[in-house]
Amino acid sequence: MSYNAIKKTFDIGDGRQIEIETGKLAKQADGSVVVKMGNTMLLATVVSAQEAKPGTDFLPLSVDYQEKYAATGRIPGGFLRREARLSDYEILISRLVDRALRPLFPDDYHADTQVMITLISADKDIMPDALAGLAASAALAVSDIPFNGPISEVRVAKIDGKFVINPLLSDLERATLEFIVAGSANDIVMVEGEAKEISEEEMVEAIAFAHEAIKVQVQAQLELAEMVGKLEKRVYNHEPSNLELKERVYAATYDSVYAVAKSGLSKKERSAKFADIAEAFALTLGEDVDEETVFLAKKYFHDVQYDAVRNLILNEGIRLDGRDVRTVRPIWSEVDYLPAAHGSAIFTRGETQSLTSVTLGAKEDEQMIDGAFINGYSRFILHYNFPGFSTGEVRPNRGPGRREVGHGNLAMRSLKQVLPSQEENPYTIRVVSDILESNGSSSMATVCAGTLALMDAGVKITAPVSGIAMGLITDEKTGKYAVLSDILGDEDHLGDMDFKVTGTSKGIVACQMDLKINGLKWEVLKEALYQAKESRLHILNEMLKTIEAPREDFKPHAPRIVSLTIDKEFIGAIIGPGGKIIQEMQRETGTTISIEEIEGKGIVQVFADNKTSIDDAVRRIKAIAAKPEVGDVYEGKVKSIMPFGAFVEILPGKDGLLHISEIDWKRYETMEGIFQVGEIVKVKLLDIDKQGKLKLSRKALLPRPEKKQEPENKQEQ
């Protein structure tokens, strides 16, 4: 039996084709497609419950991207040898798709919905993350699930001065910018990526270029849906309403909420006041009120807060903490706070605070990345922690969630752009940001604190980086809008945009933008970018008051690394049979030694926390890797004694013959009693013959004896 699959193929603009197929796999899902580009294939499925759970006033959407190791012909590592929990890379791709899809579901659709995207085949040069959003949206397009799409995602990069859509992995190394952009046919909904200090104009140009490619992919999905016959969506009613109750809530609470919003209170005080207003209204409902009324009253009160805060900003230009739209909250910072760390900093902006540390490690401290598509090692690690107490909540510590992984990745992208080269900085670097307070953009606080901590550690970053979170409030009816600098947590929740931008004084190095509305105009985006530049430069100036540049040297207690470059022929000699030589050196010198071949040369790194240990190990390594030079003098060890001379080891593994005639100026008839095995003797290298044999001389280092003069008149004796 065979299925008649429906396929839609389109060109991405440079001759490469993408194929979307449905009707062949996973037919019991509400929607399923296979997206194929080259040998890369993604299976996307979507299932949504027919009814929403009672009392649900949000969309319970879960998006999971997973890579099958078989897709790249690999067997998973670990004891179980099977795919386990999602890796950070898979979580980041899941977040990219989630952030693109979520704003496009109807506001009143509250049914449990699950999107699953699986990499089932991989082309090693075609990155699957740029196709995941297309696959998820196409699965929704061929289903009956309500969705205000389609959308798509593309990667846009600038390579050799030209914009490219979904570039090959091998070409990305030459990119000066790289963004994942998601959008519908009319609007951009999500942007995330990194760049090498680009201008605001170049960023807008890149997003616009990506949007043109997105439009083509959206049209292909619409045509596929028409071919399948799934243009009609299911009928649902997930949100009860009570217009009379809504009017009561607004009439009773709006003025009070507006007054609290305008009062400029702290987050905790403001939340308490809002809770008092809500509780006072709840008492007016009586004791016998049903659950649906209670549910709707809470929902309508949230709507009151939403409208009051937004109207306050649009009509009076006043924000929840009393600032105007451009003002950044007060900033203070400190470095060298943790005396035992290799570098540390505190960065506080308003009610957001990060305590960040830097640890310098050896090559063995690298992070191993064992994914199906991406695998290898990373020498720069950034971890972001967000405990419950940072927002005054009781929350069990269950390790980092998706939010923490995403925020840490944004900070990592930002700081990675200014790290020195491996030759200049051979350390493995771990940055850890612990958020101690949070009320707005702790990820940007991590970027700022990370910059300060790296400079405190003596890491020679090329330029300091600062970051800012921007917001947007719009009114479609009046056309009014306000771009907000340094948004609060509530402004993020109640606003229309969360736009994080990081950069140096020269330009943008990373960004993350999420939109919750349709119709962001390019002029507004440009205004937000320029206002962000003004704010992040202000923050940067405040940071530089604490520390202007990286310290000249590492902390006294920080470990040291010495790098040596040797001919690759000596790599085996340094390692020794079964690692015997290198292990012995590490044990006897108290160092950590790593060695690898890069571009035909051996790169040796010696890591220790004191100079004496490093000097000892370096001396031994140089001795092993040294080439004998004719005319040089060596202190060698007698390895064996023969009737015709002694074999002396002048360098590790390098023996030469000290012939009996080269021991002394006087003549020896036998070797008996001259040397003992293991004795140290100073010799000079006289010659290296064509077979590589070494000719040594001890005699050449001894003064030549004067000849005895014969008496002129022997009779006088």
| Residue list, annotated binding site for Mg(2+) | 492, 498
CA distance 59 to 51: 12
Tell the burial category of 306 from Cβ atoms under 10 Å away from its Cβ (0-12, 13-18, 19+).
middle
CA distance 80 to 531: 51
- Alpha carbon of residue 444 to chain centroid: 14
Residue 386 near residue 435, CB atoms below 8 Å: yes
CA distance 635 to 452: 50
Q: Which two tokens stand for residue 388?
A: 């419950």
CA distance 401 to 75: 26
Nearest CA-CA partner of 238 in 105, 377, 349: 105
Name the β-bridge partners of 655. 649
CA distance 647 to 116: 71
DSSP state string for 284-333:
TT-TT--HHHHHHHHHHHHHHHHHHHHHHHHHH---TTS--SSPPPPEEE
Report which DSSP code applies to 421: P
Would you report the helix, strand and coil content of the chain in percent, each value rounded to 5?
35, 30, 35
CA distance 113 to 305: 28
Q: For Cα atoms 594, 596, 599, give the angle at the middle one, nearest 5 degrees.
A: 150
Which residue has 């640890």 as its token pair?
359
Helices 129-141/200-228 angle, 10° precision: 40
CA distance 478 to 473: 12
End-to-end C-alpha distance for the chain, whole angstroms: 126
CA distance 450 to 421: 18
CA distance 679 to 547: 57
Helix or strand or coil: residue 218? Answer: helix
Q: How far is CA 336 from CA 357, 523, 540, 659, in A?
A: 9, 43, 18, 63
Look at the alpha carbons of 307, 313, 318, 324 in this order and tell me if their dihedral is positive or negative: positive
CA distance 495 to 260: 18
What's at 674, amino acid-wise? Answer: I
Residue 533 near residue 509, CB atoms below 8 Å: no
Name the β-bridge partners of 593. 606
Around Cβ 608, how many Cβ atoms within 10 Å? 22
- Alpha carbon of residue 595 to chain centroid: 26
Tell the burial category of 619 from Cβ atoms under 10 Å away from its Cβ (0-12, 13-18, 19+).
exposed
Name the β-bridge partners of 680. 637
Residue numbering of the annotated binding site: 492, 498
Q: For Cα atoms 195, 188, 150, give the angle at the middle one, nearest 5 degrees.
A: 125
Look at the alpha carbons of 571, 577, 579, 585 in this order and tell me if their dihedral is positive or negative: negative
CA distance 700 to 452: 60
Q: Which two tokens stand for residue 100?
A: 């693109």
Helices 243-262/267-283 angle, 10° precision: 150
